[in-house]
Chain A
Amino acid sequence: MKRFDLIALTRVTIASLCVWAIAACAGAAVGSTGAIGFVSYDTIMYRLTEHVLPASLIGAALASAGVIFQAILRNPLADPYLLGASGGAMLATYIWRLNVVASATWIATVSPHAMAMLGALAAVAIVLLAAGWRGRIEPVTAILVGVIVSSICGAVFMLLNSIYRDLPGTGGLMSMLAGDVQTTASRQQIQLSIITVSAGWLILFFLTPSLNVIRLSDGEAQSLGVRVQRTRWTGLIVASLVTAGAVAISGPIGFVGLICPHVARFFYGNDNRRLLPFATALGAGLLVLADAIARLLLANDRVGTLIPVGVITALVGGPFMLVILMRMKR
């Protein structure tokens, strides 16, 4: 790999923007009902703001958080939900839906999206506090505690589900569970997410040189000038905020945060300074395309229903990415 100077930074920025722009064009060409083509300026703008923007936001958030989690937790299987973000969001949304709880408390006053964000943040906070209660956070402990807290959230969810069988409302909940871009989130919620994700992303980008070193042992990283614990805490907290920003408007969408960093790695090796922007673009692009496919399928008479975008990212993106990985591996 050549040295990472301003030219290299510009290059990776342009490559990332191109990847995203191609996907965005495809996304803008597909209408809500599956009609293809650029009809008018207004429809394109509508599709961009209603479909491409939220999908890009979520994909970018998940993929960038994935890069950070994989680097800090030193685990190639780490995804943005490893520290409990999806479990917490699911449980919180479910609680919001429960009439018993919701009608009686302040919960009724917040939107389900804010509730998802709060749930994700609460779960991650519990994980980080439990894993780092002595001030030091170790990757293996963080992963273990994350898995435990996620499992507990899942168990409570199932418990509540078997007690209160009949849920008020319909499709909304399922979409919250499977992950969906066809969001009912309010404008304010999307704006809040945009701010969270972009501010968080910038912080993460400034963290990337340290992440290149932190992959090594603590001693080596420290002797290369990195404040290991501070980098770990900052990275995990900010990446979790970014994840929560995405989960709030879409529910948990699997796969994007796990696989995009790996595909980017085949272009840029282990250099997180290049990985982060490119993986972010891949994530945004992948989700825009998946969302466009969902709308195309909606128009098809045989499908006729909106397939959760998380299903499409895994079903369509999965084999595609697998092929890339296999080809590159040689």
Chain B
Amino acid sequence: MTHVLRAKNLTVRLAGATVIDNIHLDVTPGSITALIGPNGSGKTSLLRAVLGHIPHIGDVDWFAKPLSKWSNKELAKRVGYVPQAPTSDVNDSVIDTLRLGRSPHQSWLGIEHEHDDRVVESVARSLELTDLLSRRLGTLSGGQRQRVFLGRALAQEPTALLLDEPATFLDLRHQVELHLLLRRIAREQHVGILMASHDLNLVATHADTVMILKAGQCVTTGPTPDAMTSESLTHAFDVPVNRIESDGRVHFLI
């Protein structure tokens, strides 16, 4: 399979306004695709449209099968999603939240098996949540909570992961660690990752492919070093963005 997700001529209209305008998007297994663009450029709408949360015009294929042919449950076994602000009940424990990620795999009555426990444990280990499993969400820091929600999506054992600004509540170290982790997940488990992001430097370092959005339209898309030019970013964000290269790495100054 060459594509995890392929969207063609994707258009989304919400309350009469065109928020996504004729976009083509491919996500391949084992790679990270980043959506960047200013607020209101359509990053979140794009994610929600390909997941079927909001109606769209055009073609969306998951694993070479049209979105409309997927049942929620079957798609949930293969695609994990972490929204910008996940619902968090302060009284929910970490382990119960992670377990929710197993729900698409459960049959009648939501009976769980040993395998479910093993998946949850290994997810907790990879996200360094093992010591927090019995804690309640209300007692966690923003960064810890964000890792829990990522863990819930990973517990679905997905082959594709959609993340809406996953680094928002994280400090610098956790931002970098999260991106390294995402890269490891992409490479080792062959997961295709599509994430909306605000951080140009992190995207430049960690994303394989970039799509720059402005007002629902694609400014440019392609391999990260080619697509993220001063011109395209300046045009998208309406502020001058300088691209600096040092030690073979790309940095952006605003």
Given contacts A213-B100, A223-B51, contact A273 B109 (CB under 8 A): yes
Q: Which A residues between 208 and 227 are near B, CB-CB below 8 angstroms? A: 208-209, 212-213, 215-220, 222-227
Complex Cα gap A226–B51 (Å):
13
20 A-B pairs with CB atoms under 8 Å apart are: A3-B112, A3-B113, A3-B117, A4-B112, A5-B113, A9-B109, A212-B110, A218-B53, A220-B86, A222-B76, A223-B72, A223-B80, A224-B100, A224-B104, A225-B77, A226-B73, A269-B92, A269-B93, A269-B96, A270-B89
User: Does B87 contact A226, Cβ atoms closer than 8 Å?
Assistant: no
A263 to chain B minimum Cβ distance, whole angstroms, is 15
User: Does A5 contact B91, Cβ atoms closer than 8 Å?
Assistant: no
Chain A residue contacts of B116, Cβ below 8 A:
3
Chain A residue contacts of B15, Cβ below 8 A:
none
Given contacts A3-B99, A225-B75, A273-B110, contact A219 B91 (CB under 8 A): no
Complex Cα gap A226–B53 (Å):
12
Determine whether B103 belongs to the interface, using a CB cutoff of 8 Å to chain A: yes
Q: Which of B52, B74, B103, B108 has the most CB of A within 10 A?
A: B103
Closest Cβ neighbor of B155 among chain A residues: A224
Determine whether A206 belongs to the interface, using a CB cutoff of 8 Å to chain B: yes
Chain B residue contacts of A216, Cβ below 8 A:
86-87, 100
User: Does B72 contact A270, Cβ atoms closer than 8 Å?
Assistant: no
Chain B residue contacts of A219, Cβ below 8 A:
48, 51, 53, 81, 83
User: Does A224 contact B156, Cβ atoms closer than 8 Å?
Assistant: yes
Determine whether B213 belongs to the interface, using a CB cutoff of 8 Å to chain A: no
User: Does A208 contact B72, Cβ atoms closer than 8 Å?
Assistant: no
Chain B residue contacts of A5, Cβ below 8 A:
111-113
Determine whether B101 belongs to the interface, using a CB cutoff of 8 Å to chain A: yes
User: Does B72 contact A217, Cβ atoms closer than 8 Å?
Assistant: no
Complex Cα gap A9–B101 (Å):
20
Determine whether B194 belongs to the interface, using a CB cutoff of 8 Å to chain A: no
Q: Which A residues between 183 and 210 are near B, CB-CB below 8 angstroms? A: 205-206, 208-209
Determine whether B35 belongs to the interface, using a CB cutoff of 8 Å to chain A: no
Q: Which A residues between 253 and 286 are near B, CB-CB below 8 angstroms? A: 269-271, 273
Determine whether A110 belongs to the interface, using a CB cutoff of 8 Å to chain B: no
1/0 contact string of B58-99 vs chain A (CB within 8 Å): 000000000000001111110111010011010111011001
Determine whether B234 belongs to the interface, using a CB cutoff of 8 Å to chain A: no
User: Does A223 contact B81, Cβ atoms closer than 8 Å?
Assistant: yes
Closest Cβ neighbor of A228 among chain B residues: B72
User: Does B106 contact A209, Cβ atoms closer than 8 Å?
Assistant: yes
Query: Which residue of A217, A270, A273 contacts B83 across the interface (Cβ within 8 Å)?
Result: A217
Given contacts A223-B80, A224-B103, contact A215 B112 (CB under 8 A): no
Determine whether A1 belongs to the interface, using a CB cutoff of 8 Å to chain B: yes
Closest Cβ neighbor of B95 among chain A residues: A1
Closest Cβ neighbor of A219 among chain B residues: B53
> Other CB < 8 Å A-B pairs besides A4-B112, A224-B76, 15 of them?
A5-B113, A9-B111, A206-B109, A213-B103, A216-B87, A217-B87, A220-B83, A222-B52, A223-B51, A223-B53, A223-B76, A226-B72, A226-B73, A227-B72, A270-B91
Given contacts A3-B117, A224-B76, A225-B75, contact A270 B112 (CB under 8 A): no
Determine whether A6 belongs to the interface, using a CB cutoff of 8 Å to chain B: yes
User: Does A212 contact B77, Cβ atoms closer than 8 Å?
Assistant: no
Complex Cα gap A223–B106 (Å):
14
Closest Cβ neighbor of B113 among chain A residues: A5
B163 to chain A minimum Cβ distance, whole angstroms, is 12
Chain B residue contacts of A224, Cβ below 8 A:
76, 100-101, 103-104, 156
User: Does A209 contact B103, Cβ atoms closer than 8 Å?
Assistant: yes
User: Does B76 contact A270, Cβ atoms closer than 8 Å?
Assistant: no
Complex Cα gap A216–B156 (Å):
16
1/0 contact string of A1-18 vs chain B (CB within 8 Å): 101111001000000000
Complex Cα gap A319–B232 (Å):
66
Closest Cβ neighbor of B120 among chain A residues: A3
When A and B form their complex, which 7 residue pairs have the shortest distance between CB atoms, in order from nearest? Answer: A209-B110, A225-B104, A225-B76, A225-B73, A223-B81, A3-B112, A216-B87
Given contacts A219-B81, A220-B87, contact A1 B96 (CB under 8 A): yes
Closest Cβ neighbor of A222 among chain B residues: B72
Chain B residue contacts of A212, Cβ below 8 A:
100, 103, 110
User: Does A270 contact B92, Cβ atoms closer than 8 Å?
Assistant: yes
A6 to chain B minimum Cβ distance, whole angstroms, is 6
A206 to chain B minimum Cβ distance, whole angstroms, is 6
Chain A residue contacts of B103, Cβ below 8 A:
209, 212-213, 224-226
